[in-house]
């Protein structure tokens, strides 16, 4: 019988700890498939963050380290400078990468650190039960913005790819989504490019993946997928923001 | 025979680290330890090593975490306010059973404090450099030459026990120049099968982690670590005993302060007072047995520190409160003078002899 689908060999048998309908599962799978397709599992070292994907070290078959909140790019820098022939990636959420770890993110990018960053933006702090994230949209209700995020008092959401694209050290920054099949296929191609860039010594590559949090958004998984289209993508347009290969739009 | 060279304490630390096999240094500028970073930036590229100036002390200690995860001998250095910033990372490093070396060239505090020598990070180093149940190895050299020894001791024992090690220096030791001989000492190296180097398809993945959501599992990791600490307490405590055999008054002092105290003890002896000194070289593990031994005949014990008496409780506990322990100290960057210490010794000895 022909095999039409199988789990990536770069995923362990540990059950994913994500809520039903959450896109972390899809994104984790895409990263594992890319690692498998590039044949780099044996030389890859991953850095897990603090947040919903804190136990990512249990899901990937490659060597893994768990970083303090927001410090994954600094930990990855220490690994990068110690293991010149390995592939180093971080897998981080929005609170981790764009709030508490902003300095580590910006400076690893501006150093042109040759690492791959997978940035999962779901516009909320999921692990702690649904508080405002740096990427929470104006008007979005969370546990700490019960009347909706008011930019006058809570500030504006940060657009990470646009910000990092201004830095000379950033080789590649693209925002993708995984809320439908074409978007998933495109997201996988972007993640693959971000890893291939590292193998080609091009420097700092980041893929921002718009994700969902049905649990804390208070939606069904289907409504959450639609919310990505209706609310998130208009504020966070998909596309390539920086590509030193000259493909930036 | 190795050459004697005149070096600043900070530079001697950096050179000793390279000789002990450290090829990864991550730092951030802060007075009075910046010569360490400057020296590393000159030397590391010449020996195939890594020097990186991080965007903050927080980033630097997390780069240390990354390099230590890869199994490398790695060091960072800072001074008091910067060490406070590193405390988060140090807790994670301890919780992940990773070895590394941290240099604290202490300055006066709290807050931004000052930039002159102090020992007011004693509590931070020995009791609570970060959240959770853990300890660091803490070495307290008192000369530029001993800084070199301490660097070797720190790297080897950090690797041996898989825990972070700190050298608690001060602005005086860091900035002063003394002749130093770098010993022909082969640094002991250790296998690190736990290191993250890539599985190469030959083993199950290694995970370096400090998260255990099941309380009994977390408790067990802490208990395992405390078994290591028990071993450390048996093997590592070290102190110098100076003229303590017949001493009525024993002064306990560490680091640069011990040199002031030694002068005062010599002056007291010249004045007919039986004074002696105990100088802890390891602050954690604290040299309990050496304190007991050195104070055996003492009628009075005096600790002298460049802080408000942070070591006093440890001395009292070592003596099980069996003898009176007095304190004399200066703080905020003020260095006690031999005459001030002599006056305290005379007071305890019952006045002028």
Question: Does residue A248 surpass a pLDDT of 60?
Answer: no
- Note whether B210 contacts A: Cβ–Cβ < 8 A: yes
Distance from the Cα of A161 to chain B's closest Cα (Å) equals: 20
pLDDT for res B186: 84
- Note whether A68 contacts B: Cβ–Cβ < 8 A: yes
Residue with tokens 């700190």, as numbered in its chain: B166
Q: Region A130-159: what's the mean pLDDT?
A: 98
Q: How confident is the model at residue B352 (pLDDT cuts 50, 70, 90)?
A: low
Select from B48, B70, B85, B98 the residue whose CB has the most chain A CBs within 10 Å, as the one to mutate to test that interface.
B70
Q: Region B281-301: what's the mean pLDDT?
A: 98
What is the value of pTM for the model shown?
Answer: 0.97
Query: pLDDT tens-digit profile of A29-52?
Result: 999 999 999 999 999 999 999 999
Stretch 17-46 of chain A: residues touching chain B, C-beta under 8 Å = 41-45
- Note whether A9 contacts B: Cβ–Cβ < 8 A: no
- Note whether A92 contacts B: Cβ–Cβ < 8 A: no
Task: Give me the residue from A57, A66, A82 closest to B72, CB to CB.
Answer: A82
Contacts of A17 in chain B (CB under 8 A): none
Q: What percent of chain B has pLDDT over 70?
A: 99
3-state secondary structure B207-238: EECCCCCCHHHHHHHHHHHHHHHHHHHHHCCC
Q: How confident is the model at residue A246 (pLDDT cuts 50, 70, 90)?
A: confident
Closest CA to B96 of B218, B272, B274, B250: B218
Question: Does residue B219 surpass a pLDDT of 60?
Answer: yes
Q: How far is CA A200 from CA A41, A63, A197, in A?
A: 17, 21, 5
Stretch 32-71 of chain B: residues touching chain A, C-beta under 8 Å = 50, 52, 54-56, 58-60, 62-71
Chain A's closest residue to B50, CA to CA, is: A81
Cis amide bond preceding B285, omega within 30: yes
pLDDT for res B109: 95
Q: Region B213-236: what's the mean pLDDT?
A: 98
pLDDT for res B148: 97
**C-alpha dihedral (A19, A21, A24, A27), degrees to nearest 10:** 160
Burial tier of A231 (Cβ tally within 10 Å: 0-12, 13-18, 19+): middle
How many CB atoms are closer than 10 A to CB A105?
26
Query: How many beta-carbon contacts under 8 Å exist across A and B?
Result: 136
Stretch 74-133 of chain B: residues touching chain A, C-beta under 8 Å = 74, 88-89, 92, 96
Task: Give me the residue from B24, B201, B211 closest to A81, CB to CB.
Answer: B24
3-state helix, strand, coil in chain B (%, to 5): 40, 20, 40
Averaged confidence pLDDT in chain A: 97
Cα–Cα distance, B29 to B204 (Å, whole number):
40
Q: Checking DSSP bridges between strand B137-139 and strand B282-284, what pairing results, if any?
A: antiparallel
pLDDT for res B187: 85
Instruction: Report the complex ipTM.
Output: 0.96
Closest CA to B263 of B179, B154, B345, B207: B345
Q: Do A78 and B67 touch (CB under 8 A)?
A: yes
Closest CA to A205 of A105, A122, A132: A105
Signed CA dihedral, A146, A147, A150, A153: sign only: negative
- Note whether A223 contacts B: Cβ–Cβ < 8 A: no
Closest CA to B30 of B101, B102, B106, B88: B106
Query: pLDDT tens-digit profile of B165-205?
Result: 999 999 999 999 999 999 888 889 999 999 999 999 999 99
How many CB atoms are closer than 10 A to CB B238?
15
Contacts of A38 in chain B (CB under 8 A): none
Query: pLDDT tens-digit profile of A71-128?
Result: 999 999 999 999 999 999 999 999 999 999 999 999 999 999 999 999 999 999 999 9
Give DSSP secondary structure letters for A67-111: PPTT-HHHHHHHHHHH-TTSEEEEEEEHHIIIIITHHHHHHHHHT
Contact (Cβ atoms closer than 8 angstroms) between residue A206 and residue A94? no
Q: What are the backbone dihedrals phi and psi of residue B165, each rounded to the nearest 5 degrees, phi first?
A: -125, 140
Q: Do B209 and A65 touch (CB under 8 A)?
A: yes
Q: Do A62 and B67 touch (CB under 8 A)?
A: no
- Note whether A67 contacts B: Cβ–Cβ < 8 A: yes
3-state secondary structure B169-212: EEHHHHHCEEEEECCCCCCCCCCCCCCCCCCCCCCCCCEECCCC
Query: pLDDT tens-digit profile of B23-75?
Result: 999 999 999 999 999 999 999 999 999 999 999 999 999 999 999 999 999 99
How many CB atoms are closer than 10 A to CB B1?
5
Task: Give me the residue from A41, A65, A78 closest to B26, CB to CB.
Answer: A78
Contacts of B59 in chain A (CB under 8 A): 71, 74, 77, 103-104, 107
Closest CA to B9 of B143, B163, B136: B143
CB burial of A165-196 (b: ≥16 within 10 Å; e: otherwise) equals bebebbbbbbbbbbbeeebbebbbebbbbbbb
Distance from the Cα of A180 to chain B's closest Cα (Å) equals: 32
Q: What percent of chain B has pLDDT over 90?
A: 96
Contacts of A79 in chain B (CB under 8 A): 66-67, 69-70, 196
Cα–Cα distance, B147 to B156 (Å, whole number):
14
Contacts of B192 in chain A (CB under 8 A): none
pLDDT for res A1: 84
- Note whether A80 contacts B: Cβ–Cβ < 8 A: yes
Q: What percent of chain A has pLDDT over 90?
A: 98
Closest CA to B171 of B9, B340, B337, B341: B9
- Note whether B207 contacts A: Cβ–Cβ < 8 A: yes
Question: Does residue B160 surpass a pLDDT of 80?
Answer: yes
Q: How confident is the model at residue A129 (pLDDT cuts 50, 70, 90)?
A: very high
Cis amide bond preceding B110, omega within 30: yes
- Which tokens hold the place of A12? 């362990």
């Amino acid at each position: 019988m022909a095999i039409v689908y199988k789990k990536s060999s770069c995923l362990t048998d540990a059950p994913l700890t994500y809520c039903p309908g959450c896109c972390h599962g899809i994104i984790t799978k895409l990263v594992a498939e890319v690692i498998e397709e590039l044949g780099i599992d044996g030389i890859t070292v991953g850095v897990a963050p603090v947040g919903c994907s804190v136990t990512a070290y249990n899901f990937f078959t490659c060597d893994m380290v768990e970083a303090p909140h927001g410090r994954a790019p600094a930990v990855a820098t220490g690994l990068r400078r110690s293991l010149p022939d390995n592939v180093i990636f971080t897998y981080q959420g929005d609170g981790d990468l764009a709030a508490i770890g902003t300095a580590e993110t910006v400076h690893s990018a501006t150093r042109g650190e040759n690492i791959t960053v997978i940035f999962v933006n779901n516009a909320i702090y999921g692990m702690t039960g649904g508080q405002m994230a740096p990427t929470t949209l104006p008007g979005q209700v969370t546990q700490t913005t019960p009347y909706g995020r008011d930019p006058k008092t809570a500030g504006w959401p940060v657009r990470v790819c646009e910000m990092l694209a201004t830095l000379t050290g950033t080789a590649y920054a693209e925002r993708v989504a995984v809320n439908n099949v074409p978007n998933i296929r495109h997201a996988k191609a972007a993640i693959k490019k971000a890893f291939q860039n590292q193998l080609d010594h091009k420097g700092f590559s980041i893929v921002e993946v718009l994700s969902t949090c049905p649990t804390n958004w208070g939606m069904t998984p289907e409504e959450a997928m639609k919310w990505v289209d209706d609310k998130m993508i208009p504020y966070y347009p998909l596309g390539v923001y920086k590509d030193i290969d000259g493909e930036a739009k | 025979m190795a050459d004697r060279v005149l070096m600043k304490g900070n530079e001697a630390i950096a050179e000793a680290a390279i000789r002990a096999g450290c090829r990864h240094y991550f730092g951030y500028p802060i007075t009075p330890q910046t010569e360490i970073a400057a020296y590393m930036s000159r030397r590391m590229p010449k020996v195939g090593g890594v020097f990186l100036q991080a965007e903050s002390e927080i980033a630097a200690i997390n780069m240390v975490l990354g390099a230590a995860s890869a199994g490398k001998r790695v060091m960072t250095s800072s001074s008091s306010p910067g060490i406070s910033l590193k405390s988060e990372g140090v807790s994670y490093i301890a919780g992940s059973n990773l070895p590394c070396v941290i240099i604290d060239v202490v300055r006066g505090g709290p807050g931004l404090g000052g930039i002159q020598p102090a020992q007011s990070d004693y509590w931070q180093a020995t009791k609570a450099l970060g959240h959770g149940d853990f300890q660091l190895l803490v070495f307290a050299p008192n000369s530029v030459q001993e800084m070199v020894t301490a660097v070797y001791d720190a790297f080897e024992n950090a690797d041996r026990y898989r825990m972070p090690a700190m050298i608690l220096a001060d602005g005086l030791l860091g900035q002063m120049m003394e002749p130093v001989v770098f010993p022909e000492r082969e640094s002991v190296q250790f296998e690190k099968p736990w290191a993250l180097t890539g599985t190469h398809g030959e083993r199950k993945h290694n995970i370096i982690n400090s998260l255990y959501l099941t309380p009994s599992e977390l408790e067990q990791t802490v208990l395992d670590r405390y078994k290591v600490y028990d071993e450390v307490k048996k093997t590592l405590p070290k102190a110098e005993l100076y003229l303590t055999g017949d001493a009525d008054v024993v002064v306990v002092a560490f680091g640069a302060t011990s040199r002031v105290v030694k002068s005062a003890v010599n002056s007291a002896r010249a004045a007919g007072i039986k004074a002696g000194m105990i100088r802890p070289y390891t602050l954690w593990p604290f040299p309990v047995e050496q304190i007991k031994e050195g104070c055996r005949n003492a009628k009075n014990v005096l600790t002298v520190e460049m802080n408000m008496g942070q070591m006093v409780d440890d001395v009292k506990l070592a003596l099980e409160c069996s003898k009176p322990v007095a304190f004399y100290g200066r703080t905020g960057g003020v260095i006690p003078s031999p005459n001030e210490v002599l006056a305290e010794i005379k007071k305890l000895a019952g006045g002028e002899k």
